[in-house]
Amino acid sequence: MLTKRIIPCLDIKDGRTVKGINFLELRDAGDPVELAEIYARSGADELVFLDISATEEKRKTLAELVLRVAEKVNIPFTVGGGISSVEDVDILLKNGADKVSINSSAIKNPQLINDLAAKFGNQCITVAIDAKKIDGEWIVHLMGGQIPTELNLFDWAKEVEKRGAGEILFTSMNNDGTKNGFANEALARLSSELHIPIIASGGAGNMQHFCDTFKEGKADAALAASVFHFKEIEIIDLKQELRRNGIAVRI
């Protein structure tokens, strides 16, 4: 049976992890490769690296990091953050990334989704969508959620699917950082209206939240950062809890 995926997300700046990471076994707390190896060993199904650096050398640094991750890590990983062209994607996939995630660049230039899907196949194109519920309507936001657009979440998600995205990573900005659970109502609607996998993001605080997002939110995967980085939740414990609740997971 296809299992639900648990995905830790690592924020990267200039080739280093940024958020405080609470792993005693790390020799170098800022090394994304070492952290990725630990997550791979501890039962993560996939990893996401989100590059938030804003330097000139950003592309080169990220490509080098991808190569180092691919060398050591034997589970799939996705790379995102500032990717805006076919050339950007080409080097990241060549260096060993399994998927890339695009966000703002897809909103500014939707044709990019078609171009990437045609060249690399839709299976490696994840479109990330940040949205916020404002007066009852889910509005897509740009630039890490700072700037509202005219787009409605569900309309944009359908367009993204039609253009060739293989998967959607939906972050609810109402939930992100709250630790009060995922936006399950919106997730369930996305899952029923679309035919590609949906990754839930934003709001993970405890194990029950993951359980709820798979059951009520019908999510195919769940992404979180701090609950894993600070060891508030161990992935193996989480998976055992999910299995006890009748959710198929890889243990």
Report how far apart the first and last C-alpha atoms of the chain are (Å, whole number): 13
What Å distances lie between residue 51 and 59, 77, 102, CA to CA? 10, 13, 11
DSSP-assigned letter for residue 3: P
155 is a site residue for other proteins (CB under 8 A): no
Q: How many CA atoms lie within 13 A of 209 on its CB side?
A: 21
Residues 166-185, mask of contacts with other proteins (x by CB under 8 A): xx------------------
Residue in 122, 172, 175, 213 binding other proteins, rule: CB under 8 A: 122
Q: Are 69 and 95 in contact (CB under 8 A)?
A: no
Cite the active site residues. 11, 130
- Encoded tokens for 34: 């070492």
Q: Is 224 one of the binding residues for other proteins (CB under 8 A)?
A: no
Options 11, 49, 100, 120; binder of other proteins; rule CB under 8 A:
120
Minimal distance, residue 119 CB to other proteins, in Å: 8
Q: Which of residues 182-211 bind other proteins (CB under 8 A)?
A: 195-197
Tell me if 76 contacts other proteins by CB under 8 A: yes
Token reading at 60: 């080169």
Q: How many residues bind other proteins (CB under 8 A)?
A: 34
Binds other proteins by CB under 8 A, chosen from 121, 134, 147, 208? 121
Residue 202 · residue 173 · CB < 8 Å: yes
Nearer to other proteins, 196 or 204 (CB): 196
3-class SS of residue 173: coil
CB of 26 or CB of 63, closer to other proteins:
63
